[in-house]
Amino acid sequence: MNKLTVTDGTEIYFKDLGTGQPIFFHHGWPLSSDDWDAQLMFFLEKGYRVIAHDRRGHGRSTQTFKGNDMDTYAADVAELVKFLDLKNAIHVGHSTGGGEAIRYAAKHGKDRVAKVVLISAITPYMIQDERNPNGVPLEVFDNMRHNTQHNRQQFYQDLTIPFYGYNREGADVKKGIQDNWWRQGMMGGIKAQYDCIKVFSETDFTEDLTGVEQPVLVLHGDDDQIVPYATTAEKAAGLLKNGKLIIYPGLSHGMPTIDAEIINNDILKFIRE
């Protein structure tokens, strides 16, 4: 099993497959590197080296009590990237992982990152306040915290429905996808996952977005019921120095899994540009 022990003693699990230009994948909350199966296989077969890790507190990494914050997440990635000596890498982040990818690129990746892809990402800022009046109300995240602490087993099953748009008319509901989401969530530590709700809802990535010089592709579905695109993707694209935005009609937050063919081919085109 591939694990790196980072500075504070936390073990970070990772997958590292293939050769060629590296693509590093950053998963969403409360999932793991397993959520990238469709991308790992696709890009591996295209001749790329694919790397994905389980964020601290998630998946097979240490179920951390401390360090569950975005700066530490990015620092963990930096240690892993250095350990693997990844250069000219593409960093692809989904949801919370999008925040992690852009924070890593801005703070640590100047000489190692070629491009960044943000998929259904939380950037630049999720929560509703005086600076972000159209953001998501605090009560929504308080409810997520309550259910994660007191009802995680059922909450993680219920959350798959809006996550994949399975509540929409005509949706092709696949129980295996729901079960796999639940499995990944339950592998992680409850304290780390609880803490991460504050991280993905309240972290401001404005400076990260404006500071990144490399090309950044922003992908989002306009039927995302978890991370609304108008307050994230559209704003993020406007802050980037070298950004490209694609909004997909009708696609859900879980589009990297259920619409993998569309997403993978658009990422591949961007990488090859």
Per-residue pLDDT tens digits for 178-223: 999 999 999 999 999 999 999 999 999 999 999 999 999 999 999 9
Residue matched to tokens 């400076």:
207
Q: How far apart are CA 174 and CA 232, in angstroms?
A: 28
pTM greater than 0.75: yes
- 3-272: CATH topology: Rossmann fold (3.40.50)
Is 224 part of the annotated catalytic residue set? Answer: yes
CB 130 within 8 A of CB 229: no
Catalytic pick among 32, 91, 253, 259? 253
Catalytic pick among 95, 120, 201, 252? 95
Rounded to a whole number of angstroms, the CA Rg of the chain reads 17
- So what's the pLDDT on residue 190? 98
Is 223 part of the annotated catalytic residue set? Answer: no
CB 271 within 8 A of CB 92: no
- So what's the pLDDT on residue 68? 98
What would the pLDDT profile of 129-152 be if each residue is shown by its tens digit?
Answer: 998 999 999 999 999 999 999 999
- Residue in 116, 69, 57 with CA at minimum distance from that of residue 92: 116
Q: Where are the domains positioned within the chain?
A: 3-272
Say what percent of the chain tops pLDDT 90: 98
- Residue in 132, 131, 158 with CA at minimum distance from that of residue 143: 158
Catalytic pick among 34, 54, 195, 224? 224
